[in-house]
Amino acid sequence: MSNTLFCPALFLAAPASGQGKTTITAALARFHQRQGRVVRVFKTGPDYLDPQILAQASGEPVEPLDLWMAGEAYCRAKLYAAAQVADLILIEGAMGMFDGEPSSADLAATFGIPIAIVMDVKGMAQTAAALATGLANFRDDYTVAGLIANHCGSERHADLIRDALPQSLPLLATVPREAELALPERHLGLVQAHEVSETLERRFEAGADVLAKTALSRLPEAVCFTAATLPTVQRSLAGVRIAIARDAAFSFLYDSNLRLLEAMGAELRFFSPLEDKRLPEAEALWLPGGYPELHTAGLAANGSMLASIGNFFQQGRPILAECGGFLYTLTGLTDLEGQRFELLALLEGEGAMRGKRGCQGMQTALLPEGELRAHAHHRSRCEVNLKPIAHGRRQRHPAPGEAIYREKGLTATYLHLFFASNPAAIAALFRGEMALQAVS
């Protein structure tokens, strides 16, 4: 196969969060899927919720792309692999177009993917054109295909924006202010896809119908994608069974993390802390993030599962608990309604939700097994009666990041780890190598 492939591609970015990027990306993916095209969608940066939505809209798996978290070679390899099978590649940006280091604009520029600017134009007309023109010309290392005007009030509104745009920046589409097009949200972002599947289907179809009448109904220009060589994955987890919590309370799982574990030889055994009575037979346990605060009563009521995990912990077996999984390991958790429930008590501590205030951002997890790229995104606080073994290292700020705790074989933190950033460290963690050394 050639080291270069051409595939139509479009990068959807915005001046800020909340402009409707996911709504538009999902509608565009659904429109082209309806034409019988294979659409591969990627999401910029760390995100668990948007990819669920986009995967349902496109009918294909959705992976994160991030130059800092995964590296340029990893991103290049993923895009090249997608170009082998796709008729169209879409990438949804994160936050504003130039926010973050690296930003959405940096990612688009690195791979030569044209940008469509998604903007909520409610309350402005010619000013929307001015803002879009500024974004399009802020730097000279990327190209902008045009503007998508979201929440456009009328055809007259659209004409005012269109007439104010320079000829080099076309108005690709206008999307009306209709409630049935918007995607449902909650405190950490969009609602999980499986919770509102039928509602999402109606909104995907409605959005696709709108875009069918616009320039976005045509495939964008083809982009040249080149191959990248990644290190060979070692089968360093062969024979290791990993029990992984996956249900309505724990669902923040990157498919890329799961596939890497399998490529390393691990056998993945999924279970539900809400419904199952005991852990599956396994050598290691992973409690990922999710929404335990929405299911605290059910988690607390499943005494046999609490006892099963407690027994696993007492045996000193390796456990990774991330964010929501970390909260699950504490003595108690107070939910959004102020009710406190007793949970695993593997770590002596209390967690509590705190409305809209929270923490998010990229950090490096400084584990004894090695450094891993990670990120934090939570709306809770906790107090743990245990000295952290380390803190996350923030990208640029000198203040310590999220605490990392270790007790017996348990590693617990608010950080979500990106496994491909250091597969050897992940293998050592799930084999419990550092915990065994500490015991010996």
Q: What is the pLDDT of residue 436?
A: 55
The proportion of the chain whose per-residue pLDDT surpasses 70, expressed as a percent, equals: 93
The proportion of the chain whose per-residue pLDDT surpasses 90, expressed as a percent, equals: 80
Q: How confident is the model at residue 185 (pLDDT cuts 50, 70, 90)?
A: low
Residue 324: which of 372, 364, 286 has the closest Cα?
Answer: 286
**Predicted confidence (pLDDT) at residue 410 exceeds the cutoff of 60:** yes
**Predicted confidence (pLDDT) at residue 290 exceeds the cutoff of 80:** yes
Q: What is the pLDDT of residue 193?
A: 45
Residue whose pair of structure tokens reads 């688009």 in the numeric block: 108
What the chain holds in terms of domains, given with CATH numbers, is 4-226 (3.40.50.300), 241-439 (3.40.50.880)
| Active site residues per annotation | 323
- For 356, counting Cβ atoms within 10 Å of its Cβ (0-12 exposed, 13-18 middle, 19+ buried), the class is exposed
**Predicted confidence (pLDDT) at residue 173 exceeds the cutoff of 70:** yes
Q: What is the pLDDT of residues 219-235, one digit of tens each?
A: 999 999 999 988 899 99
- For 112, counting Cβ atoms within 10 Å of its Cβ (0-12 exposed, 13-18 middle, 19+ buried), the class is middle
C-beta separation of 385 from 330 below 8 A: no
> Cα–Cα distance between 61 and 12 in angstroms, integer?
18
**Predicted confidence (pLDDT) at residue 316 exceeds the cutoff of 70:** yes
State the average pLDDT for the chain: 92
Q: What is the pLDDT of residues 32-65, one digit of tens each?
A: 999 999 999 999 988 878 888 999 999 999 988 9
**Predicted confidence (pLDDT) at residue 310 exceeds the cutoff of 80:** yes
C-beta separation of 20 from 235 below 8 A: no
C-beta separation of 428 from 336 below 8 A: no
Q: What is the pLDDT of residue 31?
A: 97
Q: Dig out the tokens for 383 from the structure.
A: 């107090």
User: Please, what is the angle between helix 423-431 and helix 255-263, to 10°?
Assistant: 70
C-beta separation of 407 from 438 below 8 A: no
